Structure 1
Amino acid sequence: MSAFQPARNKETLARLHEAVNSGDAELIPKAIDQVFEPDVLISTPLPIGATGTEALKEVFSRLLRAFPDLHIAVEDVIAEGDRVVSRNTVTGTHRGEYLGLPPTGKPVSYNEIFICRFAGDRVAETWGVVDVLAQLRQLGALPGSPA
């Protein structure tokens, strides 16, 4: 593996974040196809039946419908060998249905951490932890949450 590969991998992952932050519903699927292997293994539980890049496209489509101003602020990126770790803060305003919840107009801010394993120049496997509990609390969907 080239000494430059970790830096290239970080740049590749940054292209996805840039596409998502553009809010462009046509650009995001194109970026997914460029950044991820078609059969990328996603080890984060997802409430959808699709797999690979089709699953990622569906996730971001749903997120953009629910949070049209979705923004990923990358807080830390660590790259070594064939892995890139990204710690992010995600923000948005709940303007569409999300996980069965009708729009509330409430802002959300939550954290996530993703580890991506690259094969060649694209992501072949991901592991992620997304703070869905924080999302649901902020949207008032849990007992004791702000209304």
Structure 2
Amino acid sequence: MSVETNKALVRRLFEEVLNGRRVEVVDELASTDYQENDPLPGQREGREGLKDRVTMLVEGLSPTFSIEDLIAEGDRVVIRWTNNATHSGTFLGIPPTGRSCRFAGIDIFRLEDGRLVEHWDVVDQLSMLQQLNLLPSS
């Protein structure tokens, strides 16, 4: 697959699945043996685990992702994003605060045969927790 095709697939994950709340699209985007290198607590393995992750994010944080950068080389796609979210449901065992937050992250995906097969991420969780008043801000 071309790097442009790979970038379009990752864009679909953020726009259709996360922002569009269409978890069923994951079946089109990810391989059954999808590997998560930074799983959320309770996230299963494989494609079903990616669905778990999406469901946790959507139900807990009501996210709206803005894509800041989308870079691809070979079989890897890197996406830098900003998330405007509202803690509207239980997330990682934390009851909803109703507060809003804005935080950033970077995801790296490896693709194979037109499917997501592996994922790593770095997320500014400290900023998110501070904005939700779950940790002191200084």
- 1:92 maps to 2:85: yes
Which of structures 1 and 2 has the bigger CA Rg?
1
The Cα of 1:82 is off from its aligned counterpart by 0.8
Normalising by structure 2, we get a TM-score of 0.90
Q: CA offsets, 1:56-81, max 9 Å, x none?
A: 1111112222223x111110011111
Cα contact 2:14–2:65 (8 A) shared by 1: yes
Give ranges in structure 2 of 5+ residues lacking alignment: none
- 2:7 matches 1:10: yes
- Per-residue CA deviation, residues 83-131 of structure 1 (Å, 9 max, x unaligned), is 1100011111111112222222211111111111111101111111122
Matched with 2:49 is: 55
Pick from 80, 99, 105: which aligns with 1:106?
A: 99
Match of 2:26 among 17, 29, 32: 32
TM-score for both structures, normalised by structure 1:
0.85
Q: RMSD of the alignment, in Å?
A: 1.6
Kept after mapping to 1: 8 A contact 2:60/2:96: yes
CA distance in 1 between counterparts of 2:38 and 2:92 reads 16
- How many residues align? The count is 137
Q: By how many angstroms is 1:49 displaced? A: 4.5
Between the aligned partners of 1:109 and 1:59, the Cα distance in structure 2 is 19
Partner Cα separation in structure 1 for residue 122 and residue 111 of structure 2: 18
Amino acid at match of 2:114: D
